[in-house]
């Protein structure tokens, strides 16, 4: 993906003149800007225009805060907005926390769609070369990219709002701006058509500077995700039986089995390309499986990548700073909650259980490898401490516990708090409340206090496609096939195969997806499309880690760990969809609001 977030390219495009001036003295081109005519007469500038659209795709690494904080994955210490969202305190005047990335908002998504529409309106004017690169002309390749990007943007809108207005033309100041929402079914059909158009125009694989741009596989993979969502419960069951416009938030007819079959076929089409495979799918006898999995998210490129976002300048990415523990001068956001930690299995594939004395005594031992690749917990080895903190942590281990010690002179017990806690001597205000930190996507080779990391964000990877296929198979009753594909994921994770069937298989699959795709901005949508809001938005638990004072006044070397209630989360069904904000409703009197708002 050639310089997709290169700030100079973005600067160029942000000052594009999209409206020409007629007066002669205004037609002089400033040295810092490109006129509309210049852009559409230069394929290189057109490509930079498309780069801007890629840049505007919502991902959490640039801003640093994840959707994990708005579902049952994580807790954000700067908490008021996330707290309100997680208690369904959402209205058409206030969508708390959602705007931490401005590229998530309704108006900005439509602004980005407008860029797509501008390209598709102007593309025939561009003097592209007829030379083939990766088997495609520039015209076909760029056109395919924009159809893909428009599909991706509409998928994002549809996933949180249901049916939205489908706009494919470029409005000018004299246009009629009132337009009704299309039905959910119409939106899905449109997105699938866009994916198919993109797939027909894009190369199977890119080479050279084009690696990372949308490919045929990316278009088919997006289609897989779209059709999986479309077959799911939220869009096919009467969650809002009294809503007078059900066609806006789901299907009102048709064959749901056919939808699951379409989802299965779409995932299988990606698999059958033969272009992708799981990274280190068959761990060797001496492999550290946790290290293998960690490498997926710290490597620039792997054979598992389908659609990614590269970062060419470390200054563009704040995720390492936002997510690292305060004892490393990080800001302690995106902190895993106890519910997620508990859902990681034991190394033998059995469920973790606080009621099991062995599990409760050592909750961080003998867990499955993905636990160690995803979670920083008390005692976890990580990176060397900053120079000013080394004296407080000689063992280079995460400290989220408290040590009870005996003060002989005072004749009483005193408590010493770990350097990664809320009572640390190191930036305590940045400490996690949960006793955990996210390890996934955080580069330990970077001192995030001073240097911003440049880790690749994976919008779509092959592991998701295998899970999509397995889910569709489960819903079609093809359980043996489903187990085969779930177990591909588990084998890579160093875990024994699943053997369940029926409702137990569905439950096992959903947990597998929760763990495999943790902190990849998937859970937020899975909770909604599965209609499990009341289960997910429960009061959350956090770790209490205490090295207890013994009767002989020595301090235990092994901590007592418990998960204790911390914060209430609650659910209202309206939160299955986001509200269209009042200012948007006021602009367009044909819009119909979502249920509950």
Give the domain CATH number at 153: 1.25.40.390
What confidence score (pLDDT) does residue 25 get? Answer: 30
pTM for this prediction: 0.94
The pLDDT, as a whole number, for residue 78 is 84
Answer for the pair 244, 452: CB distance below 8 angstroms, yes or no. Answer: no
Closest CA to 197 of 230, 156, 231, 168: 168
150 is a domain residue? yes
Residue 41 forms part of a structural domain: no
Could you list the pLDDT tens digit for every one of the 597 residues in the chain? 444 434 334 333 443 433 333 333 334 444 455 677 889 999 999 999 999 999 999 999 998 999 999 999 999 998 899 999 999 999 999 999 998 887 899 999 999 999 999 999 999 999 999 999 999 999 999 999 999 999 999 999 999 999 999 999 998 877 888 999 999 999 999 999 999 999 999 999 999 999 999 999 999 999 999 999 999 999 999 999 999 999 999 999 999 999 999 999 999 999 999 999 999 999 998 999 999 999 999 999 999 999 999 998 776 788 999 999 999 999 999 999 999 999 999 999 999 999 999 999 999 999 999 999 999 999 999 999 999 999 999 888 999 999 999 999 999 999 999 999 999 999 999 999 999 999 999 999 999 999 999 999 999 999 999 999 999 999 999 999 999 999 999 999 999 999 999 999 999 999 999 999 999 999 999 999 999 999 999 999 999 999 999 999 999 999 999 999 999 999 999 999 999 999 999 999 999 999 999
Tokens of 596: 């509950």
| 548 occurs within a structural domain | no
Whether residue 295 lies inside any domain: the answer is no
The answer to whether position 572 is within a domain reads: no
HEC states along 402-425?
EEEEEECCCCEEEEEECCCCCCCC
Residue found by looking up tokens 């956001």 in the block:
333
Record the tokens describing residue 442, joined without a space. 């955080």
Please state the separation of Cα 597 from the chain's center in Å. Answer: 26
Q: How far is CA 534 from CA 160, 318, 378, 569, in A?
A: 18, 32, 30, 10
Whose CA is closest to 435, among 446, 445, 424, 443?
Answer: 424
Give the count of domains, the chain: 1
Record the tokens describing residue 229, joined without a space.
């969502």
Cα angle at 336 between 335 and 340, to 5 degrees? 170
**Residue 372 included in any domain:** no
CB within 8 Å of 397: residues ≥ 6 apart: 379, 380, 381, 382
Match 């994916």 to its residue by tokens: 195
Residue 178 lies in a domain: yes
- CA-to-CA distance for 326 and 376, rounded, in angstroms? 12
Q: Quote helix, strand, coil % in the chain, to nearest 5.
A: 45, 10, 45
Provide the token pair at 84: 């309100």
Q: Is 214 helix (H, G, I), strand (E, B) or coil?
A: coil
CA angle 292, 295, 298 (to 5 degrees): 170
C-alpha span between 415 and 544 (Å, rounded): 14
Q: Which residue in 222, 210, 218 sits closest to 310, CA to CA?
A: 210
CA distances from 185 to 236, 264, 506 (A): 11, 18, 26
Burial of 387 (0-12, 13-18, 19+ CB in 10 A): exposed
pLDDT of residue 34: 62
Task: Report the alpha-carbon angle 133-138-140, nearest 5.
Answer: 105
Q: Is 176 helix (H, G, I), strand (E, B) or coil?
A: coil
The whole domain housing 227 covers 105-274
Question: Do the domain assignments include residue 470?
Answer: no
Beta-strand ranges (E) seen in 275-325 are 305-309
Tell me if residue 86 falls in helix, strand or coil: coil
């Amino acid at each position: 993906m050639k310089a997709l977030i290169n700030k100079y390219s973005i600067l160029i495009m942000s000052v594009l003149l999209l409206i020409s001036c007629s007066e002669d003295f205004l037609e002089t081109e400033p040295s810092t800007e490109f006129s509309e005519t210049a852009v559409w007469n230069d394929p290189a500038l057109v490509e930079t225009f498309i780069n801007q659209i890629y840049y505007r795709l919502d991902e959490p690494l640039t801003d640093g805060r994840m959707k994990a904080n708005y579902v049952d994955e994580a807790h954000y210490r700067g908490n008021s907005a996330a707290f309100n969202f997680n208690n369904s305190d959402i209205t058409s005047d206030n969508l708390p926390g959602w705007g931490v990335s401005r590229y998530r908002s309704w108006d900005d998504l439509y602004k980005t769609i407008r860029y797509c529409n501008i390209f598709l309106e102007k593309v025939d004017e561009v003097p592209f070369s007829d030379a083939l690169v990766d088997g495609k002309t520039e015209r076909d390749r760029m056109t395919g990219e924009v159809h893909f990007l428009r599909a991706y943007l509409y998928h994002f809108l549809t996933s949180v709002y249901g049916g939205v207005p489908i706009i494919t033309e470029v409005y000018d100041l004299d246009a009629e701006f009132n337009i009704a929402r299309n039905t959910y079914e119409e939106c899905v059909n449109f997105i699938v058509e866009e994916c198919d158009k993109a797939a027909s125009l894009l190369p199977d694989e890119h080479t050279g500077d084009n690696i990372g741009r949308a490919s045929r596989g990316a278009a088919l993979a997006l289609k897989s995700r779209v059709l999986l969502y479309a077959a799911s419960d939220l869009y096919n069951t009467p969650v809002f039986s009294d809503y007078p416009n059900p066609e806006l938030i789901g299907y009102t007819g048709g064959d749901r089995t056919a939808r699951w079959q379409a989802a299965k076929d779409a995932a299988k089409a990606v698999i059958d390309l033969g272009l992708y495979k799981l990274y280190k799918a068959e761990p060797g006898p001496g492999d550290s499986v946790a290290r293998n999995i960690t490498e997926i998210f710290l490597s620039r490129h792997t054979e598992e990548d389908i659609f990614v976002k590269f970062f060419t300048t470390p200054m563009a990415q704040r995720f390492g700073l936002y997510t690292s523990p305060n004892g490393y001068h990080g800001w302690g956001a995106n902190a895993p909650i106890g519910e997620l930690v508990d859902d990681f299995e034991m190394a033998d594939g059995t469920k973790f259980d606080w009621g099991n004395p062995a599990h409760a005594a050592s909750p961080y031992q003998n867990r499955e490898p993905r636990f160690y690749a995803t979670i920083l917990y008390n005692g976890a080895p990580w990176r060397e401490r900053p120079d000013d903190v080394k004296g407080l942590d000689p063992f280079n281990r995460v400290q989220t516990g408290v040590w009870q010690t005996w003060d002989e002179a005072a004749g009483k017990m005193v408590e010493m708090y770990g350097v990664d806690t809320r009572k640390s001597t190191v930036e305590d205000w940045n400490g996690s409340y949960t006793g955990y930190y996210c390890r996934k996507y955080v580069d330990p080779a970077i001192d995030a206090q001073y240097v911003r990391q440049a880790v690749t964000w994976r919008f779509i990877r092959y592991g998701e496609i295998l899970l999509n296929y397995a889910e569709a198979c489960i819903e079609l009753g093809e359980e043996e096939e489903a187990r085969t594909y779930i177990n591909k994921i588990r084998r890579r994770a160093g875990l024994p195969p699943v053997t369940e069937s029926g409702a137990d298989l569905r439950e096992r699959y959903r947990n597998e997806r929760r763990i495999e795709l943790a902190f990849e901005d998937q859970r937020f949508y899975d909770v909604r499309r599965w209609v499990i809001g009341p289960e997910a938005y429960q009061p959350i638990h956090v770790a209490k880690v205490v090295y207890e004072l013994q009767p002989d006044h020595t301090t235990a070397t092994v901590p007592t760990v418990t998960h204790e209630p911390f914060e209430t989360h609650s659910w209202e069904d309206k939160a299955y969809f986001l509200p269209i904000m009042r200012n948007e409703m006021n602009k367009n009197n044909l819009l119909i609001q979502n249920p509950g708002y």
